[in-house]
Structure 1
Amino acid sequence: MPSPVEGPDNVVDTMVIGAGQAGLATSYWLSRAGVEHLLLEQRPELGGAWQDRWDSFYLNTPNFAFLLPGQTYDGPEPDAFLHRDAVIELFRDYADRIAAPVQLGTEVTRVARADSAADLAGAKGGFAVQTSQGEWLARNAVLANGAYQRPRIPASAAKLPRHIRQLHSHDYRNPAQLPDGAVLVVGTGQSGGQITEDLLAAGRQVHLSMSACPEAPRRYRGQDTFYWLLQVNLHGPGYGINGLQREQLPSPAARFLCNPLISGNDGGHSIHLRELGRRGVRLHGHFEGTDDGALVFSDDLPERLALVESAFGQRMKPMLDTYIAAAGIDAPAAEAATADGWLPAESGARLNLDAEGVTSVIWATGYGLDFSFLEIPVLDAWNYPRHTRGVTEVPGLYTVGLPWLTRHASSTVALVGADAEYVAGHIAAR
């Protein structure tokens, strides 16, 4: 494991908060620019948020998209998918290879301006960084702690009976964690869909509460769908196709919309909610709360199924087709969508947990950003740092690795390095 940078009186030029993919990519470019820096990681081991995935998890993006700075996948299966443990090991090997100066087991509890005479005496810059292992002074600070910090659980979860086992997807590892009985999964983003499949494979009865996350084909026009998304992220603007650029978002809230419902398991596949229903999953609408001991869901299951199935054809497909045509790529024609009118016999608008034998609830309801340690007024109404290409309005304060930082795939392994390179260059220029 690389040794942390040591300086007199805990002073460092640049402090990087977080040593996941964003922090390590930033470290790579800072080292190449000759900038002294230190990465603080609250976890006892490297591997970032991938360590919070369940036992059967496979990366949702193909191996060809593992594109950290200075390292690309060169193995024999570019279109295959890596298991969680392999992903973690790759990040640990990467940190060793680039000699990232990481200090593990160090939680950052406060970042503030170093604006007092005592703070600035002998310091190289403007931030006081308090941690569980002491205080540092830094000229620059990079917020690279990611978007998967604070699990979101509805407040009404507190009203569920105490005998019901509740877990957020953050803490789910395998079906053996759960007591015997049926399981309710709330949320149909990638985690909700994949955990539902994990439970089905273990023979569990599953109830599934739908969100509005879109379905998408795993493969489209001869390539993995993420291949086309990556190409549009990288080259779309050159053809006037800017739908995946941050500036084209309809509102700041769109930065937090969920990703398409796909999986990297079993060689990669699409997840279709109607098919899950045919396999025995009891589908419900959006979770609304509790009423007289029952769980209540929106009574719009047919409309909600139609919505998630139509989203790809309405938004993503035209953009990908336009790019393929504009770039002159010889790709197979798109397959015609197959109409599927299956509906469950019941709408599933109410669920009595005890009557249905439900003993567990898994909240696959996403995450919120957590910058609670930041005592600098730089966050917007969505708790997202105000910035331009990762450079905040506060001199010396930066952010990397957030969704839609500059474009759709900014937080992914494939493209986090581009934003990290820009931020590191800005730091070096100071």
Structure 2
Amino acid sequence: MSATAHTPHIPVVIVGAGQAGLSVSWYLGRAGIEHVVIESKTPTHAWADSRWDNFTLVTPNWHCRLPGYVYEGPDPDGFMTRDEVVEWLDGWLDTFTPPVREHTTVTRLRRPNDTGFELTLNSDAGEELITCDQVVIATGGYPLPVIPPFASSLNPAVTQIHSEEYFNPEQLPDGAVLVVGSGQSGTQIAEDLHLAGRQVHLAIGNAPRVARFYRGRDCMTWLAEMGLYDTPAQQYPGGKAAQEKTNHYVTGRDGGRDVDLRQFAREGMRLYGTLTDGKDATLRFVESLTAALDKADAVYNSICADIDRHIEANAIDAPPPSRYDPVWRPDSDPTDLDLAAAGITSIIWAIGFRPDYRWIEASAFDGGGRPMQTRGVTQVPGLSFIGLPWMHTWGSGRFLGIDRDARHIADTVVDALGESRLRLAAAQ
């Protein structure tokens, strides 16, 4: 397909109708900018379709703020469940009417010349082409679930699913469960299974942990007050290495609490280091369990110490400081596991996602397939992103930072459209 004089032209196209893309739409609508939001399913569908039944936010409810809409419920320091988040987002969508085209997928985006883009769309009505001046990609940071290559060589009798497919323990066959990954999803799913009485085996990586509450307040409230969620990525302590780390594991379940893997081990959960390989019923691990637990606890205590310094520097009246002391230590670091002998009938892969921008034909990506951007704006004129982790600050990609990021992208788009229209008028 190629564009013709009859090809529909829309000034701005937003690809993805999650909260990030819709936030840009909110601002463009207020500015009177004609645009459309292309969504492969339905707005904010991921919250209802890709979270387990007992999912809760790990950030306090007061973090939840979108353009023209903030959490005003009875529990600002609590943690909304999956269904409460869906209800809250539905309430936001009732406040405006974004121009969304549902059940439509963008299969190709290219820039045939210096003045705009062509998008190939696919829906039940078939394939079509539209053109635009500006494109905002709001498809999420990393949409493709990661499954290790050796997964296909494991015993086919063992059920394997990715964390985004997990909803509750009842969906799994009877028997023990191996969860691979100790990020926020992996540890919370392991806890969900553990609380349901399942025998859980957990292979952990290098994810850090954080206290849920410390010295009278939620840790994330302290960190917000300290400005960590507002610090630009270029100025953040630890630089690029800090931005690549897995988020700290913690939970908002039952009002919020620490996730303490050592305590889980005391209660019968089996812990292992990093899983590296497997075949048939045999899995192999790095001897990293002891070091991983110690490192996670060191980060936990380091964050507490940072909060202590903030309290002291500002003469804040707060309960006395404390530190985490290990309640359990492994006797050894296991290096192998026989799935059959351990009675493991299911594996849940919670090792993350990877980017997939193969449908975008533009020189805007690094060697790892990640967008090269500054506050969401790329060097490709007219191409920008929204909703990426660390797009501008640690708050980017979270409810707390979406409004600010969306406003910046919308301002950039409006400014660019104004300049292009001025150039066009001058040429005429």
Give the direction of change, closer, same or farther, for the CA distance of 1:249–1:374 in structure 2 (3 Å limit).
farther
In structure 1, give the amino acid aligned to 2:175. G
Aligned to 2:158: 164
Distance 1:63 1:195 in 2: 21
Answering whether residue 336 of structure 2 is matched by residue 371 of structure 1, we say no
Q: CA RMSD in A?
A: 2.1
Equivalent in 257, 272, 277 of residue 284 of structure 1: 272
* Structure 2 residue aligned with 1:214: 208
Paired residue secondary structure (2:94)? helix
Q: Distance in 2 between matches of 1:159 and 1:249?
A: 41
CA positional deviation for 1:16: 0.6
Percent same amino acid among aligned pairs? 37
Query: Structure 1 residues 426 and 175 mapped into 2: Cα distance closer, same or farther (>3 Å)?
Result: same
Query: Structure 1: how far apart are the matches of 2:143 and 2:17?
Result: 13
Moved more, 216-225 or 12-21: 216-225
In the TM superposition, residue 335 of structure 1 has moved relative to its aligned partner by: 2.6
1:127 equivalent in structure 2: 117
**Are the equivalent residues in 1 in contact too, given 2:116–2:134 (CA < 8 A)?**
yes
Partner of residue 223 from structure 1, selected from 217, 241, 245: 217
Q: Specify the code of the residue in structure 1 equivalent to 2:131.
A: L
The yes-or-no answer on 1:417 pairing with 2:397 is no
Determine whether 1:306 maps to 2:294.
Answer: yes
Equivalent residue, structure 2, for 1:239: none
**Equivalent residues in 2 for 1:7-46, closer than 5 Å:** 9-46=7-44
The residue number in structure 2 matching 1:354 is 340
String of CA shifts for 1:323-347, please: whole Å, max 9, x gaps.
5555x36241553113225224453
Query: What secondary structure does 1:270 align onto?
Result: coil
Equivalent residue letter for 1:48: A
Q: Which runs of 5+ in 1 are unaligned?
A: 1-7, 117-124, 237-241
Partners of 1:233 and 1:407 within 8 A in 2: no
Change (3 A) 1:341 1:76: closer
In structure 1, what is the equivalent of residue 263 of structure 2?
Answer: 275
Deviation at 1:199, TM superposition (A): 0.7
Of 173, 177, 180, the residue aligned with 1:179 is 173
- Secondary structure, counterpart of 2:83 in structure 1: helix
The 8 Å contact of residues 189 and 364 in structure 1, kept in 2 or not, is answered as yes
Q: Which letter does structure 1 place at the counterpart of 2:270? A: R
TM-score by length of 1: 0.89
Aligned pairs (5 A) from 1:25-424: 25-49=23-47, 51-115=49-113, 125-133=115-123, 134-233=128-227, 242=231, 245-248=233-236, 250=238, 252=240, 254-290=242-278, 293-314=281-302, 316-324=303-311, 328=314, 330-333=316-319, 335-340=321-326, 342-345=328-331, 347-424=333-410
CA distance in 2, matches of 1:334, 1:256: 33
User: Contact 1:209/1:285 (CA < 8 Å) preserved in 2?
Assistant: yes
3-state SS, counterpart of residue 114 of structure 1:
strand
Equivalent residue letter for 1:411: G
Deviations 1:147-203 (A, max 9, x none): 241111111212211111000101111111111110000011111111011111221
TM-score (norm: length of structure 2): 0.89
- Say if 1:62 and 1:81, in contact at 8 Å, map to a contact too: yes
DSSP-derived class of the 2:345 partner: strand
The answer to whether the 8 A contact 1:391-1:398 is kept is: yes
Segments of structure 2 that go 5 or more residues without pairing to the other structure are 1-5, 417-428
Which whole-Å CA distance do the structure 1 matches of 2:347 and 2:33 have between them?
47
Which letter does structure 2 place at the counterpart of 1:426? Answer: T
Measured in 2, the distance between the counterparts of 1:46 and 1:355 equals 42
- The Cα of 1:81 is off from its aligned counterpart by 1.2
- Between the two proteins, the alignment pairs up a number of residues equal to 407
Alignment CA distance shift 1:323-1:415 (3 Å): farther
| Cα distance change, pair 213–331 in 1 and its aligned pair in 2 (3 A) | farther
* Greater Cα offset, 184-193 or 36-45: 36-45
> What is the alpha-carbon distance in structure 2 between the residues aligned to residue 341 and residue 23 of structure 1?
44
Contact 2:297 2:324 (8 Å CA) reproduced: no
Post-superposition offset of 1:61: 1.3
* Alpha-carbon spacing, 1:421–1:324, altered in 2? closer, same or farther (3 Å): farther
**Which letter maps to 2:101?**
Q
Shift of 1:210: 0.7
